[in-house]
């Protein structure tokens, strides 16, 4: 008997699958600006020197590789908590090491489902995996427009109206900074308005924090989370360190549940531990120990902060270049692309159509995600020029006129 005959072939992953297609492409001038990993000017994978050094220190000091506690490496969690929440009173926050940001979101979905929530509102567009993670756990997904494809910006008035109509007792996922894929973040005043709305309409916010340090700075990029904590709101914060420390393959993340009280935090953590124990037992130690070592060593932390600043600057210079190249090759006033300079983080969202994405791939060997997102952390000046020149040959760019 063939027990597995009813298994249906799954399609390749829309984001990570692109790396496989790219690897299989034999063209020597191919270009991968799809998956969100940071590379330096030479377009080779980049390991932060501070991370490598922390790894060396850890190598000489590590005494065991026995199981971690189910909640993970305590000092790693403490250091990550401080990075995210600063000096806030942490007594009502419980923390759990997670297998990357995806693992943190999965734990979030499971604990919220356990708590009785069953509806999640997702902005349109958002990171492709958000929906999958929550539907797997049984959530109903409702979407709301996040990005206005005509102005290339958030339509904030419309968004507030949508939030006002959301069903009380539901969850709402918001990206703390460097929105994936659009790069469009809320201003501080807009966050304050959102806070008022979610309090009034009794919504539970899930923060996805995957790019701390890639937007305006380590503190600035977590400002909304700290605002919510300061205002006494309960929320979840799913942290990914993949980009922040460039440790993608180590799968280092964390989930913090900001609860109503220290007692509730203890209870919630006990339940998340049960969820983790049943899924993967306890988390891997290496990446967490590297990050812990880095954050606990003053010199390494300072070095990492400097390297992160250089990353931000390189991405910003690619953004500037993209704007001037678009203006030049599409023969439009530079102000038509001013929206791109307002976008934050790794990604540029120009409004490239799926037809253009497909043609870029087939004809020019240039790989973007299907939504036309450009990974500015994965290109250099030459690549930006190549990309824009190719784009200019393919009609139907939906450029802004604002």
Closer residue to ligand LMR (CB): 91 or 136: 136
Indicate the helix (H) or strand (E) that contains 237. strand 235-240
Q: How far is the CB of 167 from ligand LMR (least distance, A)?
A: 28
Closer residue to ligand LMR (CB): 129 or 297: 129
Q: How far is the CB of 350 from ligand LMR (least distance, A)?
A: 16
Closer residue to ligand LMR (CB): 127 or 207: 127
Cβ atoms 125, 107 nearer than 8 A: no
Q: What is the 8-class DSSP label of residue 9?
A: P
In 3D space, the residue among 100, 68, 92, 86 whose CA is nearest the CA of residue 254 turns out to be 100
Q: How far is the CB of 322 from ligand LMR (least distance, A)?
A: 18
Catalytic annotation on 191?
Answer: no
Question: Could you list the residues that contact ligand LMR (CB under 6 A)?
Answer: 15-16, 35-36, 127, 129, 180
Q: How far is the CB of 16 from ligand LMR (least distance, A)?
A: 6
Cβ atoms 376, 382 nearer than 8 A: no
Query: Locate tokens 């356990």: which residue?
Result: 114
Which of the residues 127, 191, 223, 304 is marked catalytic?
Answer: 127
Catalytic annotation on 243?
Answer: yes
Which of the residues 185, 208, 221, 371 is marked catalytic?
Answer: 208
DSSP lists the bridge partners of residue 95 as 256
- Alpha-carbon distance of 7 to 274, in angstroms, equals 29
Closer residue to ligand LMR (CB): 35 or 137: 35
Which of the residues 185, 191, 221, 243 is marked catalytic?
Answer: 243
Q: How far is the CB of 376 from ligand LMR (least distance, A)?
A: 12
Q: Are strands 93-99 and 252-258 parallel, antiparallel or unpaired?
A: antiparallel
Closer residue to ligand LMR (CB): 170 or 180: 180
Write down the number of H helices and E strands in the chain: 14, 13
- Alpha-carbon distance of 86 to 338, in angstroms, equals 33
Catalytic annotation on 221?
Answer: no
Q: How far is the CB of 27 from ligand LMR (least distance, A)?
A: 22
Q: How far is the CB of 5 from ligand LMR (least distance, A)?
A: 31
Q: Give the CA distances from residue 375 to residues 209, 357, 384, in Å, rounded to whole numbers and listed in that order.
A: 18, 13, 10
Q: Which pair of structure tokens corresponds to residue 183?
A: 């790069």
In 3D space, the residue among 162, 154, 209 whose CA is nearest the CA of residue 187 turns out to be 154
Instruction: Report the residue closest to ligand LMR, judged by CB.
Output: 36
Closer residue to ligand LMR (CB): 15 or 268: 15
Closer residue to ligand LMR (CB): 228 or 367: 367
Cβ atoms 339, 402 nearer than 8 A: yes
90-94 contact pairs (CB < 8 A, 24+): 91/262, 91/265, 92/258, 92/259, 92/260, 92/261, 92/262, 92/264, 92/265, 93/229, 93/256, 93/257, 93/258, 93/259, 93/265, 94/256, 94/257, 94/259, 94/265, 94/266, 94/268, 94/269, 94/272
Catalytic residues: 127, 208, 243
């Amino acid at each position: 008997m063939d027990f597995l005959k009813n298994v249906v072939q799954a399609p390749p992953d829309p984001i990570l699958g692109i790396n496989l297609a790219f690897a299989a492409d034999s063209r020597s001038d191919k270009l991968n600006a799809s998956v969100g990993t940071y590379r330096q000017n030479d377009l080779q994978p980049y390991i932060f020197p501070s991370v490598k050094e922390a790894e060396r220190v850890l190598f000489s000091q590590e005494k065991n590789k026995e199981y971690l506690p189910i909640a993970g490496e305590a000092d790693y969690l403490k250091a990550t908590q401080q990075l995210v929440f600063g000096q806030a009173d942490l007594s009502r926050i419980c923390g759990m090491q997670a297998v990357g940001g995806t693992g943190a979101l999965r734990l979030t979905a499971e604990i919220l489902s356990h708590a009785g929530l069953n509806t999640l509102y997702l902005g349109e567009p958002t990171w492709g995996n958000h929906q999958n993670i929550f539907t797997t756990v049984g959530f109903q997904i409702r979407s709301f427009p996040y990005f206005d494809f005509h102005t290339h910006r958030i339509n904030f008035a419309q968004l507030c109206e949508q939030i006002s109509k959301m069903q009380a007792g539901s969850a709402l996922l918001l990206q703390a900074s460097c929105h994936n894929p659009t790069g469009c973040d809320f201003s501080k005043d807009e966050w304050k308005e959102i806070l008022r709305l979610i309090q009034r309409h009794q919504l539970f916010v899930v923060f996805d924090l995957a790019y701390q340090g890639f937007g305006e700075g380590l503190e600035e990029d977590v400002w909304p989370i700290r605002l919510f904590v300061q205002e006494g709101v309960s929320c979840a914060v799913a942290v990914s360190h993949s980009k922040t420390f460039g440790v993608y393959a180590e799968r280092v993340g964390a989930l913090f549940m900001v609860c109503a009280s220290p007692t509730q935090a203890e209870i919630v953590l006990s339940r998340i531990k049960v969820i983790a124990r049943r899924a993967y037992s306890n988390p891997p130690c290496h990446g967490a120990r590297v990050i812990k070592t880095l954050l606990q060593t003053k010199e390494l932390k300072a070095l990492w902060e400097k390297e992160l600043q250089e990353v931000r600057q390189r991405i910003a210079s690619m953004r500037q270049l993209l704007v001037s190249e678009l203006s030049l090759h599409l023969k439009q006033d530079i102000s038509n692309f001013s929206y791109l300079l307002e976008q934050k983080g790794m990604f540029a969202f120009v409004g490239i159509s799926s037809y253009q994405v497909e043609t870029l791939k087939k004809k020019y060997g240039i790989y973007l995600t299907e939504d036309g997102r450009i990974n500015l952390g994965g290109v250099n000046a030459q690549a930006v020029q190549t990309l824009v020149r190719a784009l200019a040959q393919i009609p139907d760019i939906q450029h802004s006129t604002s």
